Amino acid sequence: MIYWSFISFAVALTSGLFGFGGSGAELAWLAQALFFVFLILSVTLVGLKFIRDERHRPGELNDAD
């Protein structure tokens, strides 16, 4: 997803250089939206990993063992 965000940003900059301001603004908005979705997902998944790691520490016996 971050890859598509950078691609959209690059296309927006390129279209802005060639004078297509309207499409450049729309692509810049798309790149920004994708970046924030990526950021929110990343923070959520890292938080869930820390929560899961607290419940299951390496070396502890599980009920399944």
63 — pLDDT class (breaks 50, 70, 90): low
Name the token pair of 2.
Answer: 């971050």
Q: Supply the pTM of this predicted model.
A: 0.56
Tens of pLDDT, residues 17-59: 877 767 777 877 888 888 899 899 999 999 888 887 766 666 6
In angstroms, the CA 33 to CA 31 distance is 6
60 — pLDDT class (breaks 50, 70, 90): low
Domain ranges of the chain: 2-55
Helices (H), 18-63: 21-55
In angstroms, the CA 59 to CA 18 distance is 60
